[in-house]
Structures are given as structure tokens and as C-alpha cells.
Amino acid sequence: MRTQSKETQGSLNPATALQILKEGNQRFVNNLKANRNLLQQVNETSAGQFPFATILSCIDSRTSAELIFDQGLGDVFSIRIAGNILNEDILGSMEFATKVVGTKIIIVLGHTKCGAIVGACNHVELGNLTTLLNKIQPAIVSEQTITGNRTGTNAEFVNKVTDIHVRLTIDRIRRESPIVAELENQGNIKIIGGMYDVETGIVTFFE
């Protein structure tokens, strides 16, 4: 598998970038890794990087973007934070990744059995974690289909909140970053959500 270069990055569009990630996840699920020389990629990326995707995901130890999409060094910008929440620093990172470096796609990746989502559903308060979990509350409020047991013990409720949280995060990216929104409106990038299943390894994209 070749290392991304300025030329290969420039030849991609958002649709092909998404297809690369889909194919990578399929390899991961089937336990078939692409043939890469990672040490060679260290050398080939030493003078610069030309990743094709920006992925916002959770810090959960089971959700490493490079692994679940079978990507190598220099392929993706991986932004990881509990609950794949959004803040100004992350938006700035996305603007750098897309406008400056030229990635073609932004993925907001949630996952099943997310501890941050469970904590938010249980209204956990713990130091600075309280502020982080509060950013998930809009998704909890938006979930209106379940009226009983709206806590982290209800797997269906947690899954629905996780899904809504990804979608609301995408809405916020478009609303709070005119730079990223303009790139998407021009067709230069695509913003898409996805859900990683920690039991199967499968990523389901919201299309």
C-alpha cells in the first residue's frame, strides 16, 4: 500500500476518500491487512504529510481509527476525545486539516457502548469530566422516543443518544465553522457520520 503524497491526495475526491475508508474497514473486519512497510512510510512522510481524511472519534481503546479503517502512517488525521465531542480546538484542527492540508472528508465516528454517552445519560459529575459530558446533553434532550428508563442502563436509549449526538455534532461543525462549511458547499470535502460496533468491528456510515 503506497504512502499518500501530494499527487495522490490531490487526485482524490470526497467520494473516493469515503470508499477507501469503507474498503479499509472491510479488510479490518475480515482480518486482512493491506501490505504496508510502516518503517518505509516513516521515511516517506518525514518531509511532509498529505492525509486524505479527518476522523473525529472517541478515546475508547477499541476505536483506533487507523486500525479499524486499516490505514497507515500519513493517511488520516485522527482527533480523539471522550464521547467524540466538539469544541473550538477541535474545529480549529478540522479547519487546518481540510483548508490547509487538504483532507477530502471529515468523519464523525461514534461507537456502541460508549462510556461517555452512558455517563452523560446517568448525569455523572466528576471534576472536569462534568463539562465534557454536558456537551452530550443536547442529544439526550433531543431523544424523544423513549420515555421510560432514560439512563445508561437502557442500551436502546444509549444507542439512540449516540446516533443523535453524531448527527448534532455534524450540524455544529457546519454551523460553527464557516471555513469547513464553505469547503463542503463547494464540493471539496464531505462531512459524514458513522457508528462503530465494538462487538463486530463494522462501521456503519450515515448516508
Q: Which residues are annotated as a binding site?
A: 58, 60, 111, 114
Contacts of 155 (CB under 8 A, 6+ apart): none
Give the separation between CA 180 and CA 174, rounded to whole angstroms: 7
Give the separation between CA 86 and CA 191, rounded to whole angstroms: 14
Give the separation between CA 111 and CA 201, rounded to whole angstroms: 10
Residues forming the annotated binding site for Zn(2+)? 58, 60, 111, 114
Q: What is the DSSP letter of 69?
A: T
The C-alpha cell 472517541 sits at 58
The C-alpha cell 474545529 sits at 91
3-state secondary structure of 196: strand
Give the separation between CA 1 and CA 84, rounded to whole angstroms: 29
Q: Of 95, 118, 96, 203, nearest to 165 (Cα)?
A: 118
